[in-house]
Amino acid sequence: MSKRLRFMASIDVVDRRTFVDTVRRAEAIGFDALVFPDHIVDQLAPVPAMAAVAALSDRLRVGAFVMNNDLRHPAVLGHDLATLDLLSDGRLDVAMGAGWNLREYRAIGMEFEPAGTRVDRLIEAVAVLKGYFGGEPFSFDGRFYRITELEGLPIGVQRPHPPFMIGGGGKRLLQFAAREAQIVGLAPRAGRPPRGDPWSLTWEATVEKIGWVREAAGDRFDTLELNAYPSRVSPEITDRAGPALRRIADEMRSRTGVDLSEEQVRRSPHIYIGSVDSLTEKILEMRDELGISSFMTGSVDELAPVVERLVQREVA
């Protein structure tokens, strides 16, 4: 049986009135969650923005997409998130990443360590966060973090902890997510060739990633929620998708030397360009053939007609 489709969206920097209106519109359209990226740039800071959404809505879940683990000690983050889970009446998702934005690290004077080190630190942080949500004093002695009889207070609503979302494009991080998360984010790889790897955007690459997840998850695979999201290319609803898809393929070839066909671009789980009908069919195909049921669509308005149609179809 197919899993229920779930949709999340983000909000850009806006004034208070527009923020309030956007939250209410997202809830009316049928989005399940509003999420916020975690970068020190011109965007809303995730924790206060999540708190505002929880206060303004009765149903929307809140989360990041995703928290950069390097920017906060996990016990301090745990305190913030437990508070959010309590005050939202259990509508929090905990989404964690290892950090990737080199420019951001340099801007604040933080060392940008090798990917393996950042992933090692993320793995420890997830253990600390789960300990924090455990409801009793816990200790942890790791390479990066040391916790001594810390009681995770306040106690949140969701037990044993809120759902964790962990994603990536490489085998190691995806297999860690398969073992520890409830939501696994399927991402394109950030490196190789210059400015990313176009092959990692394809349907075929996504099938390979899901295979890694299945291998590591074992018996828990069927309980996992798989997530995909737009990457490298902004979503676009258009009845003339062909020229846009050809342009994207040409730009990728020119920039990276990787030759993707127009059909590979169209089918990519990370590219959403087409009519409302074709994008509706694409998302249903991704659920039926790949098992992907969770989608971060970009801003609330970018794919709103598609989300609205699919939500209405799910409840019909």
Residue bearing tokens 């906060």: 72
Query: Is the confidence at residue 1, as pLDDT, over 90?
Result: no
Q: Is the pTM of this model over 0.85?
A: yes
152-159: average pLDDT: 96
Query: Is the confidence at residue 173, as pLDDT, over 90?
Result: yes
pLDDT of residue 136: 93
* 111-119: Cβ within 8 A, 24+ apart: 115/170, 118/69, 118/70, 119/172, 119/173, 119/176
Mean pLDDT of the chain, nearest integer = 95
Q: What is the pLDDT of residues 9-26, one digit of tens each?
A: 999 888 999 999 999 999
Residue bearing tokens 């089918």: 267
Q: How many C-beta atoms surround the C-beta of residue 173 within 10 A?
A: 23
Tokens of 158: 């969701």
Q: What is the pLDDT of residues 264-281, one digit of tens each?
A: 999 999 999 999 999 999
CB proximity list for 285: less than 8 A, separation 6 or greater? none
Q: Where are the domains of the chain?
A: 6-315
Query: Is the confidence at residue 193, as pLDDT, over 50?
Result: no
pLDDT of residue 277: 98
Q: What is the pLDDT of residues 205-251, one digit of tens each?
A: 999 999 999 999 999 999 999 999 999 899 999 999 999 999 999 99
Query: Is the confidence at residue 295, as pLDDT, over 50?
Result: yes
Q: How confident is the model at residue 196 (pLDDT cuts 50, 70, 90)?
A: low
- Nearest C-alpha neighbor of 123 from the set 173, 57, 182, 162: 173
Note whether 81 and 162 are within 8 A (CB): yes
pLDDT of residue 197: 83
pLDDT of residue 119: 96
Tokens of 235: 């979503």
CATH superfamily of 6-315: Luciferase-like domain (3.20.20.30)
